[in-house]
Structure 1
Amino acid sequence: MTIVTDKSILLVEDEAILALYEKGQLEQGGYRVTHVTNGENAIDLILKGENPFDLILMDIDLGKGMDGTQTATQILNHKEIPIVFLSSHTEREIVRKTESITSYGYVVKNSGFTVLDASIKMAFKLFQANELTKSKKEHLETVLHSIGDGVIATDKEGNVTRINPVAEKLTGWKHEEGIGLEINRVFNIINVKTRQKVENPVEVVLKTNSIVALANHTVLIAKDGKEYQIADSGSPIKDLNGETNGVVLVFRDITEEYNVQSRIAKQANMLNNVLDAVIGTDFNQRINYWNKAAEKIFFWKEEEVLGKNLLEVLNTEYQRFSNSEVIEKVNLEGSFIGEAIQYAKNGEIRNIEVNVVLLNDESDLPTGYIFVARDISERLIALKQIKESEAKLTQIIESAMDAIISIDSSKKIILFNGAAEKMFGYDAREIIGQPLDKLIPENFRKQHDSHIDQFQKTGVSRRAMGALGEISGLRSNGEEFPIEASISQIMVNGESLFTVILRDVSVRNLSESKIQKLLIEKENILKEIHHRVKNNMSSIFTLLNLQANAQQDNAVQTVLFEAAGRIKSMIVLYDKLYHSETDNSVSIQDYFPTICQEIVSIFPKDVSIQLDIIDERVEVNAKILSSLGIILNELITNSMKHAFIEHTNASITLKITKRGQVVFLEYSDNGKGIPESVSFQNTPGFGLQLIGMLTDQIGGNISIDRVTYPKFILELPI
């Protein structure tokens, strides 16, 4: 359940009235809401970080300046935060554009608070799930890099998929160099006595599907030729179904241990400082040395065990051999290294790594044994956690419906999920290690490589690949198909790794021709609707005029004329838009002369109109013109109601000029003037209040100038 009482939402909405309504609904729903009117202010609030937000509710159309998608892109470049888009648009291309930026939700305006609230809560849940997945992945990487032993992981073909820092040091192979190579190239081991190649533990694990230990006298030859005596084991990596899909090889450098094994009896007194348990016995396995670490690990004091048979004190269960077989191997080969389970004095189980060495006297005759035991219980737990985390991560990736492909800095594929297999027709085993170009049509490869290189230089963590235009994929059968893609990059050991999420849009593209036909039908329907709406508005205007002319009460008549004027301003704009060559704008030269004449003609009083409008054509958005039409109607109505009482030769003057990117509208009449008590800050009337609100909504500024003669001046940036 998502708790909303402590959730803070940033609402980005340029419509003042809608913003007030949406903010009220959200606050009633238990959210804390901060409102801004444009993208620039939203970015500024996010970057300052003074008031942290849990989610952004973003209108797509934000008037001038940045739109919602541009604002969201800039915010996500600096901060991970769920963004839910809020719009009146339902066009597929607009929805698709938002999905390429973020996928936390798209809500159509006026869908109701229930839908909006559910979308917000779902966005919180998705964001929490994404953060959890990222945290688990980072934890897995941290564990792998913090293990003190060398770790190399391979796929089920024996090709290297991971090398941790300790393994890099011992093998001489950097992670980025070894990825995709066959294990024997990176992990080159021989027998120290025969100098013959030793069967690689990875190969043994893949054959036997079980944990195996390295043979005694195993030497690792590093890339630079340096040799290390090593010990440890290889274990199968199994998925949740128990299927082996790789091997993890854990090893450590025991060169020094190996060199001192022949002298360990003489140096026994120095071994109390080591962390490993060191136990000395005679040739009959009677204990004659027991160091402090052995006491700590097995809980037996030295005085309790001296002179006793080792097998009576410690119940040892080796993984692949019996106790007698281990002693036999030591007698023949001189030493044995392997893993075992032992029981401490209190019955606790210890997973240990055992190194048994045969001791010889100066005549090279056997005199006893040295048992070196290391408690590896915690290491095995860590390895188990790694395997479980990797299995969970793999399950998440494999369950994704979109294709997920990761590549290294050389653009070779290192991850290929099940959806990618279905999309491209390749099995992951055959495509891992191959160049990404294999999945891209030849005519796109150079452009695609350039895009990735440029993306790497930006340092941005994620982005859509729409900059490439239409992106195409190449199936195994040679078929090209359209795809949508987003790409992210992370740095691992100084190397950039890229992950691409792909979606096959073939079916969608096939539908586009049908959509185009539907759009044509829609356009014809809209024309018919426009005709009917215009007729209906004209009918309303006519009814208001008829009703006004039938009234005896002047006050009622004036109210009806005011309403008719507002309707008339809309009719004029609607007609101009219908005949306009542009989609959603009309020039002021076409609009204002007509609307002035139409509104004045509503009232019975004879008033002349003086127009002074610039010659330069200025196209203005219909949304702004609608507000200007209502503002002009209110000004003319006020003149008709108050300025021309008992006045002859009445006239109204409208002057429109343009300086830079600002249009100035000056309105005045030759009536009795504007009283000093009247202002936009102190007015009881609805008309001036409405003018002030509409002016704020379109981003303008209106004032009353009484210096030369009373007039209203409206400044409008365009």
Structure 2
Amino acid sequence: MIGEDAKTLLLVEDDPIIAIAEKKALKTYGYNVITAGSGEKAVNAVNSDPEISLILMDIDLGSGIDGTEATARILTYHEIPIVFLSSHSEREIVEKTEHITSYGYVVKNSSITVLDASIKMAFKLFNAFVKEREKEAALRKNEEMMRNSESFAHICSYSTNLVETDIDKSAWVCSPNFYNVFGIDETYPHTIAGWSAFLHPDFRESTFAYHERVIRERSSFDLEYNIIRINDGAERWVHGTGKLEFDAQGNPIRMHGAIQDITERKEVEEALMRTKRLLSESEQIGKVGGWELNIDTGEQTWTEETYRIHEVELDFNLSLEKSGSFYTEKSRPILENVLNRAIEYKEPFDEELEIITAKGNHRHVHAIGKTDLENRRILGFIQDITYRKSVEKEIKRQLSEKETLLKEVHHRMKNNITSIEGLLLMQADNIMNPEAKNSLKIAISRVQGVRVLYEKLLVDQQYEQVSIKSYIEELLSSILSVFPEYQSLCIEKDIADVNLNSNKAVFIGIIINELITNIFKHAFHGETDKHIHITFAHADEKTILIIRDDGIGFSRRYFRRRCPVSA
């Protein structure tokens, strides 16, 4: 009876009668048997039937290729156990088959029990071969993966002989990527002297000293050091690790470990250190420190300058209560409010606050922060603005002194001008000559123009700007007070309410004074029922002043005399 999982055998036999007998016998042992009468047919059968598990091969196969040739052709493309089944028992024939395959040789007419045992042994040998081949394939794959990983990670392995003390004898072995890391090849001397040659001179003595200490203390090797690649002279950083192996007496005999090229990592670390130093120095120069607050836990992180601003050590135990205690009673509720609003409404804040440092120094700080709810934090910076505040206070003090002094100067000048005005008025009252009296009045009105301006500057306490509308109106009142006979005049005013520089206002006052007194003298001739219209406008850095009157004007004869026209 043949089971569903019966193995299929290919019986290669050129004698049909023998083939039938052997096929029948093998079927009784549960094998599924197919036959081939020649070497060529055997090759074709294996190529076309993947179910064949084992071949029983006769050697003499008639006029075609013999069994050994057929076996060689089959094994070229297929891995399959082949057992020779032949009537030959000569030594040279048996040895010839052993060079082709080694799964067994059975002499014909042996019992079916012997043949079955040989077939089973061939299957065991073949299965063992397949497993071994799979192990070797897996090992080769692992080795390839290890080589690729070592190459990708710039890492290699080594093993050193600690017993060998001759520096010129071979003392270490390594993985292939070791040669890439150190810039050497397989011909490089694997000696203590060879190892010493690629250590950087600045690290050679300390590295060997550390190696000796590891052996003496029976500890593990773990060190970062500098090497010089042999092929290109490049300086590289490596990280070496190692573990000791001991003999039966407990003496260290070998060290096995790994070495990784960490140059890129060290360059990144150095760049980060430079950036950190620059940031720290910049913070210290600008007195600006960073901070971060975890919304959920209250955990805080400060940069070095923030610690310096608060005058505490870097190991200061931060907490919300402790950091909040630095702020004054006036500033603490302000800080609490902005932090609460930052959490609740995601509002950024920008406040100037006051703190008292751990050493009791009073400082002004500028705190700016924003919320990062995605990462559940508030972050920002704090700047020590104590010096700026003291400078601002000093500037305000000096400005106050300057304003006080300037006010006193203006006051004294106004008093002096008033005294001059009073003397001129007294002189005018004592003069009987109308012509002289009028000249003095004109002089008095000019003085009044300056006095009115100083009064405006003192009253408004703005020593650079003056309201031109108010100034002109008071100036006109002062002029009329000197010329009381024109008090009943109708003066229409259209004056823009703008502020002008006091220097410009002085000249405008002088012009208005000259024009108005000129109108009194030449246009009205004592008539008091006349009109004067004053227009003042200022826009785009341009000033327009227009003064019109309804006096007698100029005769045509005057214009002809002033502006003659040729015939």
* Structure with more of its chain in helix, by fraction: 2
TM-score tier after normalising by the smaller chain length: 0.3 to 0.5
Q: Which one has a bigger Cα radius of gyration?
A: 2
Q: TM-score, normalised by structure 2?
A: 0.46
Q: TM-score, normalised by structure 1?
A: 0.38
